[in-house]
Homo-oligomer: A and B are copies of this chain.
Amino acid sequence: MAGSQRGGWSGGAPAAPGPAQAFSALPLAGCHRRFAAGEALFLDDEPAESVYQVSEGVIRLSKMLPDGRRAILRFLYPGDLAGLSFGRHYALTAEAVTPAVVRSWRRRALDRAAEGSADLRHRLSAHLGRELEAAHARLVLLGRMSALERVADFLVWLARHQRSATRLSLPMTRLDIADYLGLTIETVSRTLSQLKRQGMIALPGPHEVVLLRPAALRALAGAGDEDQAPLPRAA
Chain A residues 47-99 with CB under 8 Å of chain B are: 48, 51, 63, 65-67, 69-71, 73, 83-88, 91-92
A140-B65 in contact given A8-B108, A132-B132, A135-B132 (Cβ < 8 Å): yes
Among candidates B12, B114, B125, residue contacting A128 with C-beta atoms closer than 8 Å: B125
Bound-state CA distance A136–B139 (Å) is 9
Among candidates B70, B132, B180, residue contacting A85 with C-beta atoms closer than 8 Å: B132
Bound-state CA distance A143–B182 (Å) is 4
Determine how close the nearest CB of chain B comes to the CB of A60; give it in whole angstroms.
Answer: 13
Residues of chain A at interface, number, CB under 8 A: 61
B223 x A65 contact (CB < 8 A): yes
For the complex, is A124 an interface residue (Cβ under 8 Å from B)? yes
A9-B121 in contact given A129-B85, A140-B65 (Cβ < 8 Å): yes
Which B-chain residue is minimally distant from A8 (CB atoms)? Answer: B111
B85 x A179 contact (CB < 8 A): no
Bound-state CA distance A225–B66 (Å) is 8
For the complex, is A158 an interface residue (Cβ under 8 Å from B)? no
For the complex, is A218 an interface residue (Cβ under 8 Å from B)? no
| Binary contact readout A109-121 vs B (1 if CB under 8 angstroms, 0 otherwise) | 0111011001011
Bound-state CA distance A131–B144 (Å) is 21
For the complex, is A161 an interface residue (Cβ under 8 Å from B)? no
| Binary contact readout A141-153 vs B (1 if CB under 8 angstroms, 0 otherwise) | 0111100000000
Which B-chain residue is minimally distant from A105 (CB atoms)? Answer: B10
A8-B114 in contact given A65-B223, A142-B142, A144-B69 (Cβ < 8 Å): yes
Among candidates B85, B118, B125, B139, residue contacting A73 with C-beta atoms closer than 8 Å: B139
For the complex, is A222 an interface residue (Cβ under 8 Å from B)? yes
For the complex, is A45 an interface residue (Cβ under 8 Å from B)? no
A14-B111 in contact given A70-B144, A129-B128 (Cβ < 8 Å): no
A86-B133 in contact given A8-B107, A11-B107, A224-B65 (Cβ < 8 Å): yes
Chain A residues 178-235 with CB under 8 Å of chain B are: 179-182, 222-225
A125 x B85 contact (CB < 8 A): yes
